[in-house]
Amino acid sequence: MEIEDLTPVLESEQRAGIGIIGCADIAVRRALPAIGRSPFRLVALASRSREKARTAAAAAGCAAVEGYERLLELPGVDAVYIPLPNSEHAKWAHRALEAGKHVLLEKPAVPAEGTARELVALAEERGLVVMENFAFLRHPQHAQARALVDDGAIGRLRSYHGVFGIPPTDPRGIKYQADLGGGALWEVGCYPVRAAQEYLGPSARVLGAGLKWDPELGVDVSGAALLGDDDGVSASCSFGLSHGYRSAYELWGSEGRLVLEWAFTPSVGARPVLRLQQKDRETQILAPASDQFVGVFTTFHDAVRDPAARARHHRELVRQARLMEDVRAQALGGRTR
């Protein structure tokens, strides 16, 4: 589809239009299929490479755009999804907001609280939403877990323990490039930290952290963080890029324990099992299969259409950036590397 052919299509559509800035693997493999099943209307996909844009856009049935700025100038693009390397997030989110576009940023959105606050201030000034894409939160298993905890299934919550580790891959990959925002904390550590916030109170803070660095790669390859709140609930988070795959968290209460064994990256057709342990019995609760990326684009669309839904996403973005910045600062002894 050529850009020049878009106008009549745009005039006939009522759903919010979305464009994608970048052809990252996560965009092509997960976001494009999900957008097609979400309330959004996919308008265009941009890449710095004309051929890459054409190949990805042809499969998705949308316009191909060479250059990110050109996508921001297209009619009918109400919102953008930005799955660029971490180092590019703040720059292109700022430009998109200035262009009047709602923004969904791939995780981790930004590395510092100050940057998050700047983006939120700009979004609110322009009447827009900026949201961080933690798609796992939109899987039904987490709502099930929250409901069980709220209903007292494990008594009073005492602690959370989250882990996310993946095996090593090609060291030339983006996740190992320091100048692109790579490293274990940003790549996988953000998941258990973000999940912990679903169970810690608003007073959540970092109590301690450590990172293991690979001197040849120049990035952290594993780490751990300890968080806590004023109610005495603790949250330990372990993560790494040199581990056997594990993606889980457990909630330990005064009367039992709840375990989610496939918490962050379940496949679309999978039905994760929640294990509820109470005294001398264990109950297995089967979660429904769900494409969590459809869930996140549906949630983002709701925020685009409903201004009242935006404040929560802005608070979550700032809080996550603050905690992640503090984890890194604690691990480095208050220094910047």
Active site (catalytic) residues: 107
Structure tokens at 231: 């109610």
Hey, what are 111's tokens?
């590395």
Name the nearest CA neighbour of 307 among 47, 70, 93, 127.
Answer: 127
Are 135 and 292 within 8 A, CB to CB?
yes
CB atoms within 10 A of CB 218: 14
Query: Closest Cα partner for 196 from 237, 164, 230?
Result: 237
Rg (CA), the chain: 20
Please list the alpha-helical segments (H only) found in the chain: 6-12, 25-26, 32-36, 50-60, 68-72, 89-98, 113-126, 140-150, 184, 190-196, 292-305, 310-331
Rounded Cα distance, 298 and 309, in Å: 12
Q: What residues pair up with 282 in beta bridges, in sequence order?
A: 277
Contacts of 215 (CB under 8 A, 6+ apart): none
Pairing state between β 234-240 and 157-165: parallel
Which helix (H) or strand (E) segment holds residue 252: the answer is strand 246-253
Residue 56 burial (CB < 10 Å; 0-12/13-18/19+)?
buried
The DSSP symbol for 86 reads G
Contact 74, 100 (CB under 8 A): no
